């Protein structure tokens, strides 16, 4: 059973790759979190948790899902974690494993994939060039084949993470600040003259945090459910959505095969 969260499609692509090569079912955390999150594993079924890195931590929605998760008799099942990132993951897996331990689970092997950058809301944060996007995806494909072998063989203790320097400083000092103060939908705004009211942002938002579309301008709910994955920003076909003013001249990206 593979649980995944994805804003701009990188993690969904990786999770689907693993599902195809292991034959295991795949479930979207943004859909599942609306249910009671109770699952029964079949004999020998593996547990995979796949997510993008947000501020060197697992995204809030993933952590909330784990809090809700009920997987009776799962301790003996093989568990692994895969995260996608633009560059480095810090100590995110330690944070994930602390959350999982409250459910009697532990990811025994962990992997990261460097994928095209989706975060563009701070100075000096840009989408990658098309060339760099292609290079990252090619390298990720190769690494995924190795990862799939580890998962198939249920190997423990395999650490294929690109943590980066001083992972604890990034994940705890900077990451705690980032996730407390910068994961918010308050700065989102729409350029009323450019918006074509197509409803794409409303439809793509994994937390159902946008109302409007289909003839109406989008409005963010400001109810603390936004996980700031930027799916709305990146999928807007006319770049009418911005995060404050900083993204006005930034690029857009979402995963296309």
Ligand X SMILES: Cc1cc2nc3c(=O)[nH]c(=O)nc-3n(C[C@H](O)[C@H](O)[C@H](O)COP(=O)(O)O)c2cc1C
Residues that bind ligand X (CB under 6 A): 6-11, 52-56, 84-88, 115-119, 228-230, 255
**The pairing of beta strand 241-243 with beta strand 188-190:** antiparallel
Phi-psi region of 197 (alpha: psi -120 to 50; beta: other; left: phi over 0): left
> Which of 27, 41 has the CB closer to ligand X?
27
> Which of 167, 218 has the CB closer to ligand X?
167
> Which of 74, 144 has the CB closer to ligand X?
144
Nearest to 46 by CA among 161, 160, 158, 156: 156
* Least Å from the CB of residue 54 to ligand X: 4
What are the tokens at 179?
């996730």
* Least Å from the CB of residue 227 to ligand X: 8
β-bridge partners, 111? 82, 160
* Least Å from the CB of residue 166 to ligand X: 13
> Which of 148, 174 has the CB closer to ligand X?
174
> Which of 74, 107 has the CB closer to ligand X?
107
**Cα torsion through 174, 175, 179, 182, rounded to 10:** 40
* Least Å from the CB of residue 6 to ligand X: 3
**The pairing of beta strand 47-52 with beta strand 79-85:** parallel
* Least Å from the CB of residue 173 to ligand X: 13
> Which of 78, 254 has the CB closer to ligand X?
254
- For residues 241 and 228, give the distance between their C-alpha atoms in angstroms, rounded to a whole number: 13
What are the tokens at 151?
């998962």
* Least Å from the CB of residue 40 to ligand X: 27
Number of helices (H), then strands (E), in the chain: 9, 10
């Amino acid at each position: 059973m593979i649980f995944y969260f994805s804003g701009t499609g990188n993690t969904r692509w990786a999770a689907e790759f693993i599902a195809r090569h292991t034959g295991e079912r795949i479930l979207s955390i943004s859909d599942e979190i609306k249910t009671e999150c109770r699952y029964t594993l079949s004999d020998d079924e593996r547990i995979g948790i796949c997510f993008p890195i947000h501020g060197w931590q697992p995204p809030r929605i993933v952590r909330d899902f784990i809090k809700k998760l009920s997987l009776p008799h799962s301790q003996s099942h093989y568990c692994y974690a895969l995260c996608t990132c633009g560059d480095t993951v810090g100590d995110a897996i330690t944070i994930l494993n602390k959350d999982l331990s409250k459910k009697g689970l532990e990811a025994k092997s962990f992997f990261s994939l460097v994928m095209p950058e989706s975060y563009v809301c701070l100075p000096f944060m840009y989408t990658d060039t098309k060339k760099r996007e292609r290079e990252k995806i090619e390298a990720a494909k190769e690494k995924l084949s190795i990862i799939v072998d580890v998962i198939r063989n249920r190997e423990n203790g395999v650490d294929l993470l690109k943590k980066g320097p001083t992972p604890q400083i990034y994940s705890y000092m900077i990451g705690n600040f980032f996730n407390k103060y910068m994961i918010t939908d308050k700065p989102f705004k729409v350029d009323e003259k450019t918006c074509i009211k197509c409803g794409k942002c409303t439809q793509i938002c994994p937390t159902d945090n946008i109302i409007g579309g289909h003839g109406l301008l989008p409005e963010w709910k400001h109810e603390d459910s936004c996980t700031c994955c930027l799916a709305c920003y990146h999928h807007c076909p006319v770049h009418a959505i911005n995060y404050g003013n900083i993204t006005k001249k930034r690029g857009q990206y979402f995963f296309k095969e």
